[in-house]
Structure 1
């Protein structure tokens, strides 16, 4: 369902607030010790009450901050690298003569693929943290009705990766694509592929790439 402009504004504001909290906690973690809620609140220039609205306990906040420290820069750089790779980077199955989907030097498929690879490359270091974060949030309550329990960073990466398709897709299809990609990108997908399917790391990567590309193509086919 497409969000109204007011709803999008509220979601964006919640995301910015959450990012500020996580950034403050990550910065304090770089000092070599776990900060208190009071220290995070002071660093973020927010109240303790605001911190607890977004993170019901300190453990969840510190896990999220640790994941941010590990993943934020590599994933951002991977998406940026797709844009620097040149027009051919966005080609889709060029050997079969299918039309390239390119915007700003790279197609959405290439941007998504590089994002997926970057996350997979870090899975050895981050998957255990991801499991813990899922455990802490699966029975939690959102900070606002309808707000997600986790995954803000993942959604921001996905939206950024498929940004070239905004001009080609209507809003509902774009939002559906972001939601669909959220199912195949992230800790939950990796855990399913490892625990349910018993796949090794390289097989997990190839399966995630296949699923992500299929979703991008399906979205484009819906509006063709």
Structure 2
């Protein structure tokens, strides 16, 4: 069995070298560049040969440069416990802030994910679905027929980094305007689900509910 390069020999020094390369990649991403391994090596003052021992290609480097700070929750400690709309507004503000903080890394990941030559996914699922689900928790009591899991996926699909990039790059919005827009989108999806008795529920479940109402 072949041991990974970083798991043998002077592991502490190798960990520092790897961190220096990742830090250099993040700094280059923050300037708008999508660095190759040799670019990160040059910025970190590390030889190209050494750098390629840690990251054999650009994809592996950029994957390592993705966000590593993913808290279990983005919900403020003073968030109301029984108001799903207020909680979702707070969550969307924090989620947009998180995405804009890590925007260069996430943009690079999106570019690579669209590369047909790629042989592995670059985007990570992350914790956004869990964050949104936490914000929607009051619905379990107030609207038990709403499928919170499906609603959380719908909200994430319309409010993540992909939507923010389109709003900023194509629509010409400022980050503040983009944040307001995704908050409004999330709120509209929540309102629709609540008003329709759980419109994002699986189709079969909705049919059963309709049949019950007609009886």
**What TM-score bracket applies, with the shorter chain setting the length?**
0.5 to 0.7
Cα distance change, pair 131–68 in 1 and its aligned pair in 2 (3 A): same
State the alpha-carbon separation in 2 of the partners of residues 108 and 80 from structure 1: 13
TM-score in terms of structure 2 length: 0.55
**Equivalenced residues, count:** 145
- 2:61 matched residue in structure 1: 59
1:187 aligns to what? Answer: 161
What residue is the counterpart of 1:68 in the other structure?
A: 68
Residue-by-residue CA offset, 1:176-219 (whole Å, 9 max, x unaligned): 31221012222101011112211011111111111111111111
**Do the aligned partners of residues 163 and 60 (structure 1) sit closer, same or farther apart at CA in structure 2, a change above 3 Å counting?**
farther
**SS of 1:79's equivalent?**
coil
Measured against aligned partners, the alpha-carbon deviations of 1:114-139 in whole angstroms (never above 9, x if no partner) come to: 12111333444311111111122235
Q: Which has the larger radius of gyration?
A: 2
Aligned-pair RMSD on alpha carbons?
3.2
After TM superposition, the score normalised by the length of structure 1 is: 0.53
Single out whichever of 207-216 and 106-115 deviates more from structure 2.
Answer: 106-115
Distance 1:211 1:57, change over 3 A: same
Instruction: Tell me, in whole angstroms, the C-alpha distance in 2 between the residues paired with 1:63 and 1:155.
Output: 21
Summarize the Cα distance change of 1:197–1:60 in structure 2 as closer, same or farther, 3 Å threshold: same
Matched, 1:79 2:66: no
2:96 aligned to 99, 120, 143, which one?
120
Note if 1:213 corresponds to 2:209.
no
Q: 8 Å contact 1:154–1:182 — kept in the other structure?
A: yes
Measured in 2, the distance between the counterparts of 1:208 and 1:120 equals 8
CA distance in 2, matches of 1:124, 1:177: 23
**5+ residue gaps, structure 2:** 1-14, 23-57, 199-215
Counterpart in 2 of 1:109? 85
Moved over 2 A (4+): 31-35, 56-61, 119-125, 136-143, 148-152, 166-171, 173-176
Give unmatched runs, 5+ long, in structure 1: 1-27, 36-55, 90-104
Match in the other structure for 2:145? 170
Name the structure 2 match of 1:202: 176
More helix by share: 1
Rate the CA distance shift 1:154–1:141 in 2: closer, same or farther, 3 A. Answer: farther
